[in-house]
Chains A and B, each alone.
Chain A
């Protein structure tokens, strides 16, 4: 099993590394451009295939442990990079995305999964997959938004042109916010079915609400035409709240009573 994961991860990383290298050389040799695109896509396809296989093997969606969520990020983050390149002709983001995906896969290779098929009854729900997938995609978009914003901050400090970058970070944040809202509401409706109430201020819920508020605040500040340069700082830092929500909650004093702490692995 671990061997299988390692093989899949190695193949995916090899695809991405080769794709990135040939992407760099594609400026001089245009033929490499298509080759690079196909290869980087192949890396994601390998990961998606592995997740599908792993899902059927576990007989439950692989979305329960932190390690399992990292698998999904590894498969999906590069896709956002390609999408941004396709839409806005911004090439650099995909290299960052690929590096991040490779980083997630490496963590999983260094810490083999706790291999456990069990799924507690409260998680056996039709809400499980939509709730987590919507959040995953939302986080992926907001991670990309945060990095774009950080890139803009860097360009600001070196006083370069950055108009396109600003709209990219903005639209990624906007789409991410929409998905966060869905995740929050799906979560509330699931909680009603599983625990009897849609909102109990469980620490994870509180932090999910906080991250939602952070982006709600951003959208209103943007709308009010607050200095866009300052807002790039805001977007770059807003992701920190999401990180606390994703895994930081486990380490806070409030987590002792939470129903939401991930199985550590």
Chain B
């Protein structure tokens, strides 16, 4: 790297040639994208993608092992090209990380260059493919002949190769549908996020029960003229419980009583009631400067009952339902052969059925905890085990890397 300045394309090739190559790949990608009007790239599905990936892997391995001393191949599997391609991927990720993805103005120049779906476009595909070739070549040289001191390199690089290639080649086989189910009903069709076309599923979902737990309700001062919630002095949300206090400019509020579930009696005063019907009530004492303290009942309301607020001049003291703490659906999933599973679906607790995974996704948010509709997402990703294998190899490689890093620290100190 020192001494006489290298001429362009003078062997051995280094960073300049690698950078030029990467820029050329990026430009080619953007040109294809422009010519195809930002159509992106449509990957084949199983088994074609698996066959293509295996052929690609075999090609890279055989070129790497067969021509390991050829200067061009050495350069293709070397660090300068690897670094340039990493930089190329970083530039594309930067575009994808700054510009909103999947937000399109059709016909605009960013749309024609595919900038709104950078990760499924030609430039990304080309650069990643070249990067996989680069990574694969360097891997082939460390794999054969195998040496134990190369284990960390092999685990990390092979893991990354497997996770990246299977994640990208397998993305065309990812199926995800949203299945809306009403309580007491069964459904066997799903919808994708962006279309109304129903897809027949190989199983059906029956919803026994949907239930939702909430955090305690919160107290707010509402300004209807500006449609704004006013923050109190502590600038935090005020959770309602017996004895809770809040203060806004010139207004002090004390919660005298709190009933999580109640219904108003004939006299207008709430009495405790069953959770399925009742709503939250709180008795508050409001003291404002220049007037006598007064007491009032306020409530969150429900689809069946109007909320009760306390008026304070132009403002209203309101009680908002707490945010959801947990929601779950009791379902029975059944396929055509009669194989059935009963399960509780909850956020973060998906359930497996055949090669599908079922997720609690949402509910009718207007109805809140009275919702009788549950939105269940069903996902099938046949490539997942391969991607996870890659993840675990990267982690194993990293543990070794960490270990050698620590050990080398001793030498330094």
A interface residue numbers (CB < 8 A to B): 2, 87-89, 112-122, 124-125, 164, 167, 171, 174-175, 178, 181-182, 185, 188-189, 192-199, 201, 203, 206-207, 209-210, 213-214, 216-217, 220-221, 223-224, 227, 249, 252-254, 256-257
Q: Within the assembled complex, what's the spacing in Å between the Cα atoms of A118 and B213?
A: 12
A253 x B405 contact (CB < 8 A): no
Q: Within the assembled complex, what's the spacing in Å between the Cα atoms of A112 and B231?
A: 13
A125 x B409 contact (CB < 8 A): no
- Please indicate the chain A residues that have their CB under 8 angstroms from the CB of B377 in the complex: 196
Q: Does B322 contact A (CB under 8 A)?
A: yes
List 27 A-B pairs, Cβ < 8 Å. Answer: A88-B412, A115-B237, A122-B348, A124-B347, A124-B348, A171-B405, A175-B406, A178-B398, A178-B405, A193-B348, A194-B347, A196-B357, A206-B96, A209-B93, A210-B90, A213-B86, A214-B90, A217-B86, A217-B87, A217-B90, A252-B98, A253-B98, A253-B99, A254-B100, A257-B101, A257-B102, A257-B103
Q: Does B387 contact A (CB under 8 A)?
A: yes
Shortest C-beta distance, B157 to chain A (Å), equals 11
Query: Nearest residue in B to A202 (C-beta to C-beta)?
Result: B101
- 7 additional A-B pairs beyond A167-B412, A185-B395, A199-B167, beta carbons within 8 Å, are A87-B412, A114-B236, A182-B395, A185-B391, A194-B347, A196-B359, A201-B96
Shortest C-beta distance, A88 to chain B (Å), equals 6
Q: Does B26 contact A (CB under 8 A)?
A: no
B interface residue numbers (CB < 8 A to A): 1, 79-80, 82-83, 86-87, 89-90, 93-94, 96-103, 119, 167, 174, 176, 215, 234-237, 239, 322-327, 346-350, 357, 359, 361, 377, 379, 381, 384, 387-388, 391, 394-395, 398, 401-402, 405-406, 408-409, 412-413
Q: Within the assembled complex, what's the spacing in Å between the Cα atoms of A195 and B173?
A: 18
Q: Within the assembled complex, what's the spacing in Å between the Cα atoms of A119 and B98?
A: 28
- Please indicate the chain B residues that have their CB under 8 angstroms from the CB of A87 in the complex: 409, 412-413
- Please indicate the chain B residues that have their CB under 8 angstroms from the CB of A124 in the complex: 326, 347-348
B236 x A116 contact (CB < 8 A): yes
Shortest C-beta distance, A64 to chain B (Å), equals 13
B79 x A223 contact (CB < 8 A): yes
Q: Within the assembled complex, what's the spacing in Å between the Cα atoms of A224 and B347?
A: 46
- Please indicate the chain B residues that have their CB under 8 angstroms from the CB of A257 in the complex: 100-103
A196 x B176 contact (CB < 8 A): yes
B379 x A197 contact (CB < 8 A): yes
Q: Within the assembled complex, what's the spacing in Å between the Cα atoms of A203 and B361?
A: 21
Q: Within the assembled complex, what's the spacing in Å between the Cα atoms of A216 and B324?
A: 40
Shortest C-beta distance, B395 to chain A (Å), equals 6
Q: Within the assembled complex, what's the spacing in Å between the Cα atoms of A221 and B83?
A: 7
Instruction: Specify which of B103, B237, B348 is in contact with A116 (CB 8 Å cutoff).
Output: B237
A171 x B412 contact (CB < 8 A): yes
- Please indicate the chain B residues that have their CB under 8 angstroms from the CB of A199 in the complex: 167
B326 x A121 contact (CB < 8 A): yes
Q: Within the assembled complex, what's the spacing in Å between the Cα atoms of A155 and B254?
A: 61
Task: Identify which of B102, B236, B239 gathers the most chain A CB atoms within 10 Å of its CB.
Answer: B236
Shortest C-beta distance, B280 to chain A (Å), equals 15
Q: Within the assembled complex, what's the spacing in Å between the Cα atoms of A256 and B101?
A: 10
A220 x B82 contact (CB < 8 A): yes
A213 x B402 contact (CB < 8 A): no
Q: Within the assembled complex, what's the spacing in Å between the Cα atoms of A256 and B270?
A: 42
- Please indicate the chain A residues that have their CB under 8 angstroms from the CB of B82 in the complex: 220
- Please indicate the chain B residues that have their CB under 8 angstroms from the CB of A214 in the complex: 90
Shortest C-beta distance, B318 to chain A (Å), equals 18
Shortest C-beta distance, B80 to chain A (Å), equals 7
Query: Nearest residue in B to A244 (C-beta to C-beta)?
Result: B97
Shortest C-beta distance, B58 to chain A (Å), equals 26
Q: Within the assembled complex, what's the spacing in Å between the Cα atoms of A181 and B93?
A: 17
- Please indicate the chain B residues that have their CB under 8 angstroms from the CB of A221 in the complex: 83
Q: Within the assembled complex, what's the spacing in Å between the Cα atoms of A182 and B396?
A: 10
The 6 closest A-B CB pairs, nearest first, are: A121-B347, A206-B97, A115-B236, A224-B79, A125-B348, A178-B402
Shortest C-beta distance, B370 to chain A (Å), equals 18
B412 x A181 contact (CB < 8 A): no
Tell me whether A216 and B86 are in contact in the complex, defined as CB-CB below 8 angstroms, given that A118-B325, A198-B387 are known contacts: yes
Query: Nearest residue in A to B397 (C-beta to C-beta)?
Result: A181
Shortest C-beta distance, B390 to chain A (Å), equals 9
Q: Within the assembled complex, what's the spacing in Å between the Cα atoms of A185 and B384?
A: 13
- Please indicate the chain A residues that have their CB under 8 angstroms from the CB of B348 in the complex: 121-122, 124-125, 193-194
- Please indicate the chain B residues that have their CB under 8 angstroms from the CB of A196 in the complex: 176, 350, 357, 359, 361, 377, 379
Query: Nearest residue in B to A168 (C-beta to C-beta)?
Result: B412
Shortest C-beta distance, B210 to chain A (Å), equals 14
A121 x B324 contact (CB < 8 A): yes
Shortest C-beta distance, B153 to chain A (Å), equals 10
- Please indicate the chain B residues that have their CB under 8 angstroms from the CB of A88 in the complex: 412-413
- Please indicate the chain A residues that have their CB under 8 angstroms from the CB of B412 in the complex: 87-88, 164, 167, 171
- Please indicate the chain A residues that have their CB under 8 angstroms from the CB of B391 in the complex: 185, 188-189
Query: Nearest residue in B to A209 (C-beta to C-beta)?
Result: B93
Q: Within the assembled complex, what's the spacing in Å between the Cα atoms of A257 and B89?
A: 22
Query: Nearest residue in B to A86 (C-beta to C-beta)?
Result: B413
Instruction: Specify which of B96, B101, B394, B406 is in contact with A185 (CB 8 Å cutoff).
Output: B394
Shortest C-beta distance, A259 to chain B (Å), equals 12
Q: Within the assembled complex, what's the spacing in Å between the Cα atoms of A124 and B325?
A: 9
Q: Within the assembled complex, what's the spacing in Å between the Cα atoms of A214 and B398?
A: 17
Query: Nearest residue in A to B214 (C-beta to C-beta)?
Result: A118
Shortest C-beta distance, A74 to chain B (Å), equals 21
- Please indicate the chain B residues that have their CB under 8 angstroms from the CB of A119 in the complex: 325
A174 x B401 contact (CB < 8 A): yes
Q: Within the assembled complex, what's the spacing in Å between the Cα atoms of A220 and B83?
A: 7
B100 x A256 contact (CB < 8 A): yes
Query: Nearest residue in B to A217 (C-beta to C-beta)?
Result: B86
B325 x A121 contact (CB < 8 A): yes
- Please indicate the chain B residues that have their CB under 8 angstroms from the CB of A174 in the complex: 401, 405
Query: Nearest residue in A to B323 (C-beta to C-beta)?
Result: A118
- Please indicate the chain B residues that have their CB under 8 angstroms from the CB of A181 in the complex: 394-395, 398
- Please indicate the chain A residues that have their CB under 8 angstroms from the CB of B237 in the complex: 114-116, 118
B79 x A121 contact (CB < 8 A): no
Query: Nearest residue in B to A201 (C-beta to C-beta)?
Result: B119
